[in-house]
Chains A and B, each alone.
Chain A
Amino acid sequence: MNNFGYKQAEDTREAISLIEHNETAKFVAGGTNLIDLWKYNIANPSQLIDINHLAELSEIKTLEHGGLRLGAGVKNADTAYHPVVEHQYPLLSKAILAGASAQIRNMASNGGNLLQRTRCYYFYDAEVPCNKRIPGSGCPAKDGYNRIHAILGTSEHCIAVFPSDMCVALAALDAVVNITGPTGNRSIAFADFHRLPDNRPDLDNNLKKDELITSIDLPEKGFAANYAYLKLRDRHSYAFALVSVATALELKGNTIEDVKIALGGVAHKPWRSTEAEEFLKGKAANAENFSIAADLILQGAKGFGYNEFKIKLAKKAIIRNGLMALNPESQLPGAQPSA
């Protein structure tokens, strides 16, 4: 643990200017991940810039052309329980409530949720090599204990998974991430926000060092009638996903008009397959078709020993969650399977 300075930013412009002039400063909002990483000596900020008082980040508001804007500074719990989120985007509400604990959801910000680091044991252990922590030092997870690790999109340099639940729903809903920085504002489609490890596993996402997430936009279509979020883990609650699935369906009778499926706990980012979603369109919403879609989603999946089970688990989870999306009320609290 190192010592650090602290400064409260009054507005977005001041926050950007403070970080622009200090290479080793970090923004802090909820702090639930950053302060933990600092205690483990994984994050060593020279200064924390507190962005909890930025009014621009603190609102949830409906957008003029439909859709909803989630302020980056709004707490995860306030987002999940927001009436519009509950009614128009219940998939998002459910995914948020499946993550962490009530206390952490009261603290964690929406922007911070996108920026949380992997929970790979080797990343968290400052005494061992890790390409994400120290590029070029190696990846002990590949031949180590890798029960929680990725089966899709891995590289020879890193097999870590991105741990968020909220982001799995945001990926399925085709959210957009709004960003500000020294040169102005820009927006990134959710699918392009997080990265695969490739040869730069130290980079989790495409946000630049001196940029700040200001909000996340949800499109108008929230799939409130047919959705499900299933989270499978080693403990009934308050544990990261081994495999999670967000499924959003638009049905006409039993025929799938539109569908989005995103997986968590299996890759360095929420995982989607256009091929699988295109296959399902126009088909009957049944186990047989969800099974074929699952095979398409899991094309190229590869285990590393202890995580081989995830391939079979993910397939069954995709099928089960597709069927649960036909009757969202059947699900038990905590993103558990239906009774």
Chain B
Amino acid sequence: MGLKPQNLHKEPILNCSVTFKINGEERNVSIQPWVSLLDCLRDHLNLTGTKKGCDHGQCGACTVLCDGKRILSCLTLAVMKDGAEITSVEGIAKGDDLHPIQQAFIDHDAFQCGYCTPGQICSAIGLLNEGKAGSREEVKELMSGNLCRCGANVGIIDAIMQVKDGGSYE
């Protein structure tokens, strides 16, 4: 019963020229309108740090920062982000200097297999940028969009609490 991919549009569909600033660098791609930001990063720009988990907005593995806000790259079309500033996990550290949240993840054993980690780190930075989480309970609630099947959640919350309360976040 499933439809094969088909063009329902009456006119030929042209590739779109999209320019964004990714991790501080301006990049231009020519892509089809239905390419997700996730596939654009991984397949067109060779930035494979951002992970494809469910591809349906249920796991948070694909989380990136768009103009400083955490979003799901799997449910975003790249073409909709023309002109935006995107930060993926590759753009978090400054050269060899880890971002405090990256160091905190290491210090607190905040991962096991590591697949959800790029999304967790981008989401944690988004949470800190938002500045809405006070208590540990609130941090847990505001990180619920990132699943960790290894069960490293306690370490993840510990890491975020340390950076949030330790004042090492800039």
The judgment on whether A and B are partners is yes
Chain A interface (Cβ < 8 Å from any Cβ of B) = 1-6, 24, 28, 31-32, 35-36, 38-41, 44-48, 50, 52, 77, 81, 100-104, 106-107, 126-127, 236-238, 332-334
B72–A103 CB distance below 8 A: yes
A2–B76 CB distance below 8 A: no
A236 to B8, alpha carbons, bound, how many Å? Answer: 41
B1-52: which have CB < 8 Å to A?
Answer: 1-3, 5-11, 13, 16, 32-34, 36
Closest to B62 in A: A103
- Kindly list chain A residues whose C-beta atoms are within 8 Å of the C-beta of B146: 101
A33 to B69, alpha carbons, bound, how many Å? Answer: 19
Closest to A34 in B: B75
Q: Does B142 belong to the interface (CB within 8 Å)?
A: yes
B98-150: which have CB < 8 Å to A?
Answer: 123, 126-127, 130, 132, 135, 137-138, 140-146
* Contact with A334, one of B33, B77, B141 (Cβ below 8 angstroms): B141
Shortest distance from the beta carbon of B149 to any chain A beta carbon, whole Å: 14
A83 to B141, alpha carbons, bound, how many Å? Answer: 21
A41 to B140, alpha carbons, bound, how many Å? Answer: 33
A50 to B79, alpha carbons, bound, how many Å? Answer: 10
A48 to B33, alpha carbons, bound, how many Å? Answer: 9
Chain B interface (Cβ < 8 Å from any Cβ of A) = 1-3, 5-11, 13, 16, 32-34, 36, 55-57, 60, 63, 69-72, 75-77, 79-80, 123, 126-127, 130, 132, 135, 137-138, 140-146
* Interface SS of A by simple majority: loop
Interface centre among A6, A31, A39, A47 (most CB of B within 10 A): A6
- Kindly list chain A residues whose C-beta atoms are within 8 Å of the C-beta of B77: 6, 28, 31, 35, 48
B80–A102 CB distance below 8 A: no
- Kindly list chain A residues whose C-beta atoms are within 8 Å of the C-beta of B6: 2-3
Enumerate the 6 nearest inter-chain pairs by beta-carbon distance, A residue then B residue, closest first.
A101-B145, A6-B33, A237-B144, A46-B8, A5-B9, A238-B144
A4–B8 CB distance below 8 A: yes
A41 to B145, alpha carbons, bound, how many Å? Answer: 24
Interface centre among A35, A39, A45, A48 (most CB of B within 10 A): A35
- Kindly list chain B residues whose C-beta atoms are within 8 Å of the C-beta of A101: 60, 144-146
Q: A3-B9, A5-B33, A41-B3 are in contact. Are A50 and B56 (CB under 8 A)?
A: no
- Kindly list chain B residues whose C-beta atoms are within 8 Å of the C-beta of A334: 141, 144
* Contact with B9, one of A4, A50, A77, A102 (Cβ below 8 angstroms): A4
A102–B130 CB distance below 8 A: yes
19 A-B residue pairs with Cβ-Cβ distance under 8 Å, sorted by A, are A3-B5, A3-B13, A4-B8, A5-B33, A6-B33, A6-B77, A6-B79, A28-B77, A28-B80, A35-B77, A39-B56, A46-B10, A52-B80, A102-B126, A102-B127, A103-B70, A104-B145, A106-B126, A333-B137
Shortest distance from the beta carbon of A155 to any chain B beta carbon, whole Å: 25
- Kindly list chain B residues whose C-beta atoms are within 8 Å of the C-beta of A77: 69, 130
A47 to B9, alpha carbons, bound, how many Å? Answer: 6
A128 to B60, alpha carbons, bound, how many Å? Answer: 28
A334 to B136, alpha carbons, bound, how many Å? Answer: 13
A127 to B3, alpha carbons, bound, how many Å? Answer: 11
A106–B71 CB distance below 8 A: yes
* Contact with A36, one of B56, B132, B142 (Cβ below 8 angstroms): B56
Interface centre among A4, A48, A103, A127 (most CB of B within 10 A): A103
Interface centre among B9, B16, B77, B137 (most CB of A within 10 A): B9
Closest to B10 in A: A46
* Contact with B57, one of A36, A44, A106 (Cβ below 8 angstroms): A36
B13–A5 CB distance below 8 A: yes
A337 to B62, alpha carbons, bound, how many Å? Answer: 31
